[in-house]
């Protein structure tokens, strides 16, 4: 049995006289890689803001490492729960890249020696060490995104949440991001990604939570949820192209979970060359 690190029970959240989250019940375990899917305005970002205490539940409770978020400050929770915001321009302010990464460490009161070690480590992982003395604003879009990740990574939180990490990123940057996520997962971090980029999710996350109109409408293995076309439609999401193409190719009879184009081609070729075996 894995350690339960986030526990949400009967969470309701009210914003401007409207319930944005309705009766959310979730358990998140250590080391999971989770994608939270949902259309715009479904309540995804509102939900994750409860994990580090930026928002407090109207009804019900959210416990992080066994402690109610209402009883801890954001700064306390932020040590364990790192959150990478969608737009890096909402947080970059320091004169140099190095200072930018050191900001959180200084806030948490680490010693100078540890700060130096950690900043160097985070910048090396993100491939930004050569820009240490440059201004954060001189970096490209992808580099700024990586810098915002480094500024969270540096203090080594157990849970790392990414809010819409793929928005505005090109293919190369997305691949790079995927590598970073993989690396973090192998280091035993719990990763939660909020997105509506369904293609990015395929083959990269073991658990998927679908949110629609403030409710969790599905929670389970990626292979189960990404092949449930009806469910995805309900949340205004389009199924992954390979899975949908294979579904159409099978005359809508049989739907299977495909992660890579190679797998897809294999299935198609087998069908073409050995029609009787299917």
Partner 1 sequence: MSLKVFEGLKFEKKNTVIHRLDARTKGLYVISTMIIAVIFTDIVPLLLLLIICFVLAVMAKVVSEWIKTMKGIAIFALIIFILNFITITENRINQSIAMFLRFLVLSASFSIFFLTTSPDDFSQALLKMGIPYEYTLMLTIALRFVPTLARDIQTIIDAQRSRGLELEKGNIMKKIKNYIPILIPLIIYEIRRSIMIAEALESRAFGAEVKRTNLYETKLSLIDYASILIIFIFTILIIYLHYLHILPSIFYLKLPEI
Residues that bind partner 1 (CB under 8 A): 49, 52, 54, 73-75, 78-79, 82-83, 85, 87, 89-93, 103-104, 107-108, 137, 151-152, 155
Residues β-bridged to residue 164: none
CB of 37 to partner 1, least distance (A): 22
Nearer to partner 1, 104 or 216 (CB): 104
d(CA 183, CA 185): 5
Task: Label the pairing between strands 18-29 and 33-37.
Answer: unpaired
CB of 238 to partner 1, least distance (A): 28
Nearer to partner 1, 135 or 228 (CB): 135
Query: Can you state the percent helix, strand and coil of the chain, rounding each to 5?
Result: 40, 25, 35
Nearer to partner 1, 102 or 243 (CB): 102
Q: Closest Cα to residue 156, out of 221, 216, 82, 215?
A: 82
Cβ–Cβ < 8 Å for 24, 30: no
CB of 92 to partner 1, least distance (A): 6
CB of 101 to partner 1, least distance (A): 10
Sign of CA dihedral 138, 142, 145, 146: negative
């Amino acid at each position: 049995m894995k350690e339960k690190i986030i526990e949400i029970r009967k969470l309701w959240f009210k914003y401007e006289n409207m319930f944005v989250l309705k009766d959310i019940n979730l358990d998140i375990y250590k080391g999971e890689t989770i994608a939270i899917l949902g259309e715009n305005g479904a309540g995804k970002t509102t939900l994750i803001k409860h994990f580090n205490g930026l928002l407090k539940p109207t009804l019900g409770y959210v416990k992080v490492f066994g402690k109610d978020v209402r009883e801890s400050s954001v700064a306390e929770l932020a040590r364990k729960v790192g959150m990478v915001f969608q737009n890096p321009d909402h947080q970059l302010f320091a004169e140099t890249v190095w200072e930018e990464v050191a900001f959180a460490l200084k806030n948490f009161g680490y010693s100078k020696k540890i700060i130096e070690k950690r900043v160097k480590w985070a910048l090396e992982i993100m491939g930004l060490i050569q820009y240490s003395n440059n201004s954060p604003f001189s970096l490209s879009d992808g580099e700024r995104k990586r810098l915002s990740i480094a500024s969270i990574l540096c203090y080594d939180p157990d849970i790392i949440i990414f809010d819409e990490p793929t928005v505005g990123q090109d293919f190369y940057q997305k691949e790079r991001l995927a590598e970073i996520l993989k690396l973090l997962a192998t280091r035993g971090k719990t990763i939660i990604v909020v997105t509506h980029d369904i293609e990015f999710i395929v083959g990269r996350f073991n658990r998927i939570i679908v949110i629609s109109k403030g409710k969790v409408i599905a929670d389970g293995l990626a292979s189960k949820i990404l092949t449930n076309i009806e469910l995805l439609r309900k949340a205004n999401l389009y199924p992954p192209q390979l899975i949908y193409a294979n579904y159409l190719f099978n005359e809508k009879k049989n739907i299977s979970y495909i992660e890579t184009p190679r797998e897809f081609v294999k299935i198609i070729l087998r069908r073409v060359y050995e029609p009787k075996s299917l």
